[in-house]
Structure 1
Amino acid sequence: MTYCVGMRLDDGLVFMSDTRTNAGVDNVFTFRKLFTWSTPGERLIVLQTAGNLATTQAVVSLLNERMKAPEDRNPSILEVPTMFQVAKLVGDTLREVVRSQTAKGPTADSTFSATIIVGGQIAGSEPRLFLIYPEGNFIEASDENPYFQIGEAKYGRPILLRGYAPDLAFPDAVKLLFLSFESTLKANLSVGMPLDFLVYEDGSFSDDRQKRITADDPYFRDLSVKWGEAIRIAIASLPDVEL
Structure 2
Amino acid sequence: MTYCVGIKFDRGLAFMSDTRTNAGIDSISTFRKMFTWSKPGERVIVLLAAGNLATTQAVVSLLDERSKAPSERTPSLLETPSMFQTARVVGNLVKEVIASSAPAGQSQDAFSASFILGGQIKGSEPRLFMIYPEGNFIEAGSDTPFFQIGEAKYGKPILIRAYDRAMSFEAAAKLLMVSFDSTLKSNLSVGMPLDMLFYESDSFEIGFQKRITKDDPYFRTISDGWSDALRTAFGSLPDFSLS
Q: Same fold (TM over 0.5)?
A: yes
SS of equivalent to 1:228 = helix
Is 1:22–1:190's contact at 8 Å kept on the other side of the alignment? Answer: yes
Match of 1:165 in 2: 164
1:180-219 → structure 2 map (5 Å cutoff)? 180-219=179-218
Shift of 1:173: 1.0
Give the TM-score taking structure 2 as reference length. 0.96
Partner SS for 2:5:
strand
| Per-residue deviation, 1:69 | 3.5
What is the alpha-carbon distance in structure 1 between the residues aligned to residue 218 and residue 125 of structure 2? 32
Q: Percent identity?
A: 64
Deviation of the 1:72 alpha carbon:
4.9
The answer to whether the 8 A contact 2:5-2:17 is kept is yes
Q: Is the 8 A contact 2:198 2:208 kept in 1?
A: yes
- Name stretches of at least 5 consecutive residues in structure 2 with no aligned partner: none
List structure 1 runs of 4+ shifted beyond 4 angstroms: 104-107
Match of 1:178 in 2: 177
Letter in 1 for 2:20: R
Q: CA deviation at 1:166?
A: 1.0
- Which residue matches 2:10? 10
Q: How far apart are 1:96 and its partner, in Å?
A: 1.2
- Mapped to 2, the partners of 1:196 and 1:61 lie a distance apart of 19
Aligned to 2:38, what secondary structure does the other structure show? Answer: strand
Query: What TM-score comes out, normalization by structure 1 length?
Result: 0.96
Q: What CA distance in whole angstroms lies between the structure 2 residues aligned with 1:163 and 1:226? A: 16
Cα separation, partners in 2 of 1:208 and 1:106, compared to 1, 3 Å? farther
Q: What is the CA-CA distance between 1:106 and the residue it aligns to? A: 10
Q: Distance in 1 between matches of 2:133 and 2:159?
A: 24
Q: What CA distance in whole angstroms lies between the structure 2 residues aligned with 1:22 and 1:169? A: 34
Say whether residues 1:240 and 2:239 are aligned partners. yes
Q: CA deviation at 1:131?
A: 0.3
Q: Which runs of 5+ in 1 are unaligned?
A: none
Q: SS where residue 150 of structure 1 aligns?
A: strand
Determine if the alignment matches structure 1 residue 28 to structure 2 residue 28. Answer: yes
Within 5 Å, which residues of 2 pair with 1:38-187? Answer: 38-70=38-70, 72-103=72-103, 110-187=109-186
Separation of aligned partners in 1, 2:106 and 2:168 = 39
Amino acid at match of 1:156: G
Q: Describe the SS at the equivalent of 2:111.
A: coil
1:2-33 CA distance string (max 9 Å, x none): 00000001110000000000101111100000
Q: Is the 8 A contact 1:51 1:113 kept in 2?
A: yes
In structure 2, the residue matched to 1:226 is 225
Answer whether contact 2:200 2:207 (CA < 8 A) is retained: no
CA distance in 2, matches of 1:79, 1:106: 35
Q: Give, in angstroms, the shift of residue 48 of structure 1.
A: 0.2
What is the CA–CA distance in structure 2 between the aligned matches of 1:218 and 1:148, rounded to whole Å? 27
Inter-CA distance 89–220: structure 2 relative to 1 (3 Å threshold): same
Compared with structure 1, are the counterparts of its residues 168 and 106 closer, same or farther at alpha carbon in structure 2 (3 Å cutoff)? farther
Q: Is the 8 A contact 1:106 1:134 kept in 2?
A: no
Asked if the contact 1:47–1:116 (Cα under 8 Å) also holds between the matched residues in 2, the reply is: yes
Structure 2 distance, partners of 1:106, 1:85, is 30
Give the whole-Å Cα distance in 1 for the aligned partners of 2:151 and 2:204.
30
Q: 1:105 to 1:179 in 2, by over 3 A?
A: farther
**Aligned Cα root-mean-square deviation (Å):** 1.5
**Structure 2: how far apart are the matches of 1:56 and 1:105?**
22
Report the 3-state secondary structure (helix = DSSP H, G, I; strand = E; otherwise coil) of the residue aligned with 1:116: strand
Q: Post-superposition shift, 1:42?
A: 0.6
Instruction: Judge conservation of contact 2:56–2:113 (CA < 8 Å) in 1.
Output: yes
Asked whether the equivalents of residues 91 and 137 of structure 2 are also in contact (C-alpha less than 8 Å), the reply is yes
